[in-house]
Structure 1
Amino acid sequence: ASPRKSGPFVVIDCGAIPEQLQESELFGHVKGAFTGAIATRRGLVEEAQHGTLFLDDVTELPLGLQAKLLRALQEGEIRRVGDSRMIRVDARIIAATNRDLEEEVRQEAFREDLYYRLNVFPIRLPALRDRREDIPLLAEHFLARVAQETTSPRKRLAPDALRVLMNHPWPGNVRELQHALERAALLSEGELIGERDLPSQITVPGAELMVALPEDALAIPETTARVVRDVERELIRRALARTANNRTEAARLLGLSRRALVYKLKEYGLGRS
């Protein structure tokens, strides 16, 4: 058996980390490396020392950060942001994506050398739409986990909601289902989740987020950005309210890392600084 089996298992949701925080999140930083770096902090790669590092949505990493990740894999060492020292790291790497990595390489969106470094023992899982019988069990699991993490009553799916979930094509696979249910559990008022509580892109094919705006509002970039910020701020408020201001659980409900949520709380002036 691998000696790393008893080590830490660290998950990095590459798609949930704001781009400006990605390098610091992965590799850490030293005090004073950038505005707001008031203390030296280890990155998640270091947190996985002598254990396993799971890179979820690895294709979301920008090319520059892919190069630094490749060095960490090949040389077994990293450099914290703002530091001149190299730090040895030893962790098993598992990466996941719902995209065609070979196509990403052809489109030059993913480094070919990193692809071959990761593609040692590939495991291909059928898409969720090809194993719909798993949806009810997965839904129960995700709703039970939300209830446990938020110490709130466990919510159930109404028949109409389950029917919608069974018929949706799930282009985002299991993660899309997870996020849809976590948001439904967060936003629904009662203990029963109905069709109306599910995201509109699931209940109405081709639907997008609808916001009441003047007809020409979307033609003004500043207005569009303000609307996006307002919606995001409101979702964060609701997540904090539902989790009794538990930032770790609120971040999970929102599909963010805790550090990313803290960054957004400061950005929007919410909660404690």
Structure 2
Amino acid sequence: MEFYKKGFSKYIPEFLLPKIKPKIIEDILKEDKVIGKIVGINLKPMDLNNQENLEKFLEALLELKDEDSNTLFIEGYENLSSLTLESIQDITKMKIFNGEYTRLSNILVVIRKIFSILKEDLEDKEILVVCDEKEIAKRIIKEISKGFRFITSIGCEEYNDEIYEYILDETGLSLFYPISIHKILSRYSVIINYTEKLEFDISKVKRNAIVFNFSKIDLKDNKNRTHFIEDYGFDFKELGIKTEWINHKITSSLFESLLGMENHSINYLISGNNYYSLKDYVNLFIKVKGRF
């Protein structure tokens, strides 16, 4: 919308602007090679969960798509239903990355960096994984098993035996399944939440615990602690990417859309739409007494 307000269109009342006007705005470059394009589709907000709007959006998008276009990033994609996302991917033949691979594969990297800043050891720390998706639970636990000896898992009770055997075979570690998590929340130094059905009071975790909230719920406890790690941020400048239209700080999902499964250093932790360097995050919310 802002692009079209820069030229003559800025003098046109908004109600006279068309809703759809597909246009390629800019090429995104990395080492002088085009790795993506910024395109404008809708001039006004559109509810893409509405079938009629979705059809118009896709028709316009396909006008701009070329044979090299195989990934897609839509601002606000997290508000789209799974059915809408599937339809977009099926019709356009472009994959929409949600940043899941980057978030999961870097959990232990981030935890280690945080504890390095704190000058504390991981070996004696306990970690709690809250996840109601079996395969994701396996991935998370296998990843963090490289750094933690004491891992508790809840949320996939139906598959406890399967997950237990898988982790034992893959890592040699035994998982702990508590009878009542409520009584032992204060012992965990790290909590990873990947469910929207959190069944315990988050305010009961210790104040300097590191909490990753990779669910879609707005996690907040009754002490108004909201500084949970929701995503990782990357810096365009360090990635060697050139564009004038995107903020140089980007999320995991946009990172994956442009660079796929590449590995790069994480520059920021994202919490409440704010970007913090790891050191700033630790100093603001972990180290300071009386604050989370």
TM-score in terms of structure 2 length? 0.28
- Considering fraction of residues, name the structure with more helix: 1
- Considering fraction of residues, name the structure with more strand: 2
TM-score in terms of structure 1 length? 0.30
Which has the larger Rg? Answer: 2
